[in-house]
Structure 1
């Protein structure tokens, strides 16, 4: 099944420069948490049970780490480099827990363009509304390739 969508692709390797950046603010809502937990069949009580979480060091339910990684990969797929890109390596440090209903600001910056390996390296930092850093990540991304048909036009 092929869905006819716009042929807009993200930036190619030649169009990306070190220093390119993106800022994205996301709020973690119940609907997102429930979708994640339903899709993955993840019933970790630390993510959903207030009475359980209350007896842990976190004191209340936290957001699954994979959801935060999903926000990052989604931003890469949608914005930088954009549609057609592919994450080939992902390294992340979770510094502070993220709680339900928090709002996070993610800062993305291209720190390396490697034309030999056909990848860009993007650093990501996320902070909460108190400006506390909650995660750092380094993501290697293969940008969309220029299609042969584009070269013929």
Structure 2
């Protein structure tokens, strides 16, 4: 964390162009899952217990979808438009479960820029190591002013 340090604001809406893209890769580790579960007090055994998950259609523990959402919203806050951005909407579909230790490639692309309303729309997609799309949708954000 950069406590006490002054951070530079992300880009203003006028500086963002349709077609801008960001690619990032995240590996889902046990520590990330345990932090999430501890922070939210979510005790769904589907997320952590192998013997429980084996009894379900998923067969193995799955990553909570909100963790994938967090990776995407974090990318908006860090990169497009960047620090000072405020997310005003999101519409995501989770097409396939993600299992522990998966590596997900995320692609974000700016598809709309509304200067008058200080708003950008970013299409998002995440694919697993097999190339299967696991999450897709869009995030709407207000860049810093």
- Structure-2-length-normalised TM-score: 0.96
| Matched residue count | 144
Q: CA RMSD in A?
A: 1.2
CA shift at 1:7, angstroms? 3.0
The equivalent of 1:150 in structure 2 is none
Uncovered stretches (5+) of structure 2, i.e. residues with no partner: none
Partner residue in 1 for 2:79: 79
What are the Cα deviations for residues 55-97 of structure 1, in whole angstroms up to 9, with x where unaligned? 1110000000110100001111111111110110010000000
The corresponding residue for 1:65 is 65
Mapping for residues 1-150 of structure 1, pairs under 5 Å? 3-145=3-145
Q: For 2:31, what is the secondary structure of its paired residue?
A: helix
Rounded to whole Å, the distance in 2 between the matches of 1:7 and 1:48 is 36
4+ residue segments displaced more than 6 Å: none
User: What CA distance in whole angstroms lies between the structure 2 residues aligned with 1:42 and 1:97?
Assistant: 18
Rg: which structure is higher?
Answer: 1
What is the DSSP-based 3-state SS (H/G/I as helix, E as strand, rest coil) of the residue aligned with 1:67?
helix
Q: Helix, strand or coil for the counterpart of 1:57?
A: coil
Aligned-partner Cα distance in 2 for 1:5–1:110: 29
